[in-house]
Amino acid sequence: MENFGKISVLKSGYFKATKKEGIEEYEVKHENGVFVGDFVLDVDGYYKYWPADRSGYYIEGDLFLLFTMLKRLNSKWDNIVKNDPNI
C-alpha cells in the first residue's frame, strides 16, 4: 500500500509519531519518551491506532491529540476514497 501522506514525523501537543524504516507504521511517543503505541496502515488503506498496552488511561485531551495525528495521516487517502467512484 502506498504511503499517500509521505509524512516522516507528526507532532501534536506532547505526542510525536515517527515513521518506522521500511514499513508503513509510525511509533507514537509522549514527549517524556514513553512509547504509547503505533499508527499501523491497515488493508483498507487507513492508519489505525494500536495502543502499547492497557496498563494506563488516556484523558479526553490525549485522545484528541492522537485523533488529530491520525486524521492527518489518513486525510489524503480519505479524499481519494471519497472522490473516486471506482473505489
Q: Would residue 2 count as lying in a domain?
A: no
pLDDT in tens, 58-87: 889 999 999 999 999 999 999 999 999 887
DSSP 8-state code for residue 60 = H
Amino acid (one-letter) located at 3: N
Residue range of the domain that includes 38:
9-83
Tell me, what's the pLDDT at 8?
87
**The total number of structural domains that make up the chain:** 1
Q: Residue 65 belongs to what H/E stretch?
A: helix 60-83
The structure's pTM equals 0.81
Q: Would residue 59 count as lying in a domain?
A: yes
CATH number of the domain encompassing residue 55 = 3.40.630.30
Q: Would residue 4 count as lying in a domain?
A: no
Q: Would residue 3 count as lying in a domain?
A: no
* Residue 45, phi-psi category: left (phi > 0), alpha (psi -120 to 50), beta (remainder): left
